[in-house]
Structure 1
């Protein structure tokens, strides 16, 4: 028996060596994670918009699983990207504008680092969106995690639409002068290199598109030429009279004038926005073609989403940040070519979130999910509706002027927002939307007696999420104050000590900066 066992061991060793020589050393699936920037789910064909052309996204949904209620737990790029990588809520990552950078130890527990440690060939291209905070790591260059990946195509800040101005992809500028298609070309080269490594690969690409400035690729100028877009039914200030005063106090309501200056201005903005998204869609097509050419399409999972939504003039709002549907929801598609044909093209209504990306990717790769992650492995949900035990997620905004900072909870059917700010102009305000039937959020039901039971239930979910923030949230990076601000029962005298930046004060600061800048020029 011992000899038989020895022979079997020798056979396995020879078999594995042979596989490595052939470049087939690991049967684990390849994983591609694709992230657009500022894409609301409303701007995607497979979510029911017949005014846009997203054939490759639609095909991914037809071949895979479309998640109908996908939210970004923090709807702003810096925080959301940290949420995605680490699988944690913002109050645990400590990463957002006005708060702080992402600590190295948290990044080292992110999905790309864990997959590389597990033997994956890893690559990243595009906008990182944050910098790493920490000393002594040789893998960090100018605050970016360059050395944590086998192949690097990332860039600092927002990156730039002109390919030639992004050093890590500048070599593609002649053929692909706009960065969106350049990232598609970079991906093709990565896939070739990954194949030759003999390892399974994990490639993450974070497109700049369709983030401002709306500078679409001229290659697609003909796609929407001559098209006139119909505005959504909740467009404009006349459809925002029911919103809380806090929501209308910040730049999201009072800036982004190009959405409302004129009909021509709106049409130009929405066309450019949609054209940028079409460019991302085209790059997805490039990537899928490269997989076929390399013979890797049958074992490569593709996950597509965005870091936050975009308001596009709904309720007179621009930008993202706020917990309303257009700003907080994004497309979310998972395509696994190994799935039987009968289980493709399915749709799931269960609420999902950006914090689910990391644990789902780790599970696909056979890597254990760290206990600190807040997200869910979605594979059971892909198998059947109700496959995960989740009845709500939290939406947080801890950025911007004081008035708009809020904690919210959302279920498949309802959304509850608690606007905590109060002064002589406004009082703490509750909003309750029956989003299952009122996706445009036109009816605040918080004062409706018929929804008293639902309001009570959503308050309990809010308080549950608040307790998690108190227990698990970090106190550093100015996050400790939210244990007071988001407490529905805390007295205003206690909250006032944490007021820092009202919208009026923010405007004063910006005016002063502009004045000083002009003075310096003169």
Structure 2
């Protein structure tokens, strides 16, 4: 697993995603948005996805002690599933991940990390809740996660804090009625089949999810920070 020095988890799938985290200030937020959210062709998504994360003030703003830093924009990208060594930068002689290797050169790669529960749905529940499986008690064949647990999930808390939240791709967990609407402003969960017909064209879910993610970024409110959970 690879972690950005700013915020978020990054993992790779069959398409090569170029994830670029930029630090932006409240003064240049709109400028950075317009710079990176330019119109793209569908296939261009596998080359570049820009995500702006605000955490630093612009040069010269340090003197304005009363200026509050703008909250960071967050994109959390997860793939399902991937071994720890399924990366070129990990020395894999067969699998080529040039974009992920580039991300490693710009960020941080943890070589001694581990997943607490090597099961898809239990791991997803842990990502959302921040709890070990023994605490949230959720895996395959278990009842839906309770609203009491999901009310402490990062999308729910961020939305309450004023974030525009969304999920694109595989949700991978079952929750009680009403929980999804409380967590996300926009929710497009799709996992199967891997190929779909759209407008007479057969497309892989990777490309479909990429287009939906770009739509979320383009159509988000300008006056709110955002958090997008993007799952391939």
Q: TM-score, normalised by structure 1?
A: 0.31
Structure with greater strand share of residues? 2
Match of 1:202 in 2: 227
Partner of 2:7: none
Cα distance, 1:53–1:116 mapped onto 2, change above 3 Å? same
Measure, in 2, the Cα distance between the counterparts of 1:198 and 1:174: 37
Q: Contact 1:26 / 1:200 at 8 angstroms: preserved in 2?
A: no
Q: How far apart are the structure 2 equivalents of 1:146 and 1:126?
A: 16
Deviation at 1:159, TM superposition (A): 2.8
Aligned match for 1:116, one of 143, 150, 159: 159
- How far did residue 40 of structure 1 move? 0.6
**Contact 1:26–1:198 (8 Å) recurs in 2:** no
CA distance in 2, matches of 1:163, 1:35: 21
SS of the equivalent of 1:71 reads: coil
Instruction: Name the counterpart of 1:30.
Output: 73
Contact 2:195 2:202 in 1 (8 A): no
In structure 2, list runs of 5 or more residues that go unmatched: 1-25, 34-53, 55-67
Q: Which residue of 2 aligns with 1:181?
A: 207
The Cα of 1:114 is off from its aligned counterpart by 0.8
How far 1:107 sits from its partner (Å)? 1.0
Map 1:83-232 to 2 at 5 A.
83-133=126-176, 137=177, 139-140=178-179, 145-155=180-190, 158-164=191-197, 177-194=203-220, 196-207=221-232
Kindly provide the CA deviation profile for residues 185-205 of structure 1, in whole angstroms up to 9, marking residues without a partner as x: 1111111112x4322111111
Render the CA deviation track for 1:236-293: whole Å, top value 9, x for unaligned: xxxxxxxxxxxxxxxxxxxxxxxxxxxxxxxxxxxxxxxxxxxxxxxxxxxxxxxxxx
1:46 matched to which residue of 2?
89
Cα distance in 2, alignment partners of residues 109 and 101 from structure 1: 15
CA shift, 1:117, in A, is 1.0
Is the CA contact (8 Å cut-off) linking 1:162 and 1:178 kept in structure 2? yes
RMSD (CA atoms): 2.9
Moved over 4 A (4+): 18-26, 173-176
- Contact 1:120 / 1:202 at 8 angstroms: preserved in 2? yes
Give the 3-state SS of the residue equivalent to 1:177 in structure 2. strand
2: CA distance between counterparts of 1:176 and 1:55? 26
In structure 2, C-alpha distance between the alignment counterparts of 1:73 and 1:84, rounded to whole Å: 11
Classify the secondary structure of the residue corresponding to 2:105.
helix
Greater Rg over alpha carbons, structure: 1
Q: 1:197 to 1:160 in 2, by over 3 A?
A: farther
**Which aligned pairs between 1:13-24 and structure 2 lie closer than 5 A?**
none
**Secondary structure of 2:76's partner?**
strand
TM-score when normalising by structure 2: 0.66
Aligned to 2:109, the other structure's residue is in SS state strand
More helix by share: 1
On the 8 A contact 1:86/1:109 being kept in 2, the answer is yes
d(CA) in 2 for partners of 1:54, 1:122: 29
User: Judging changes above 3 Å, is the alpha-carbon distance between structure 1 residues 184 and 175 closer, same or farther for their aligned structure 2 residues?
Assistant: farther
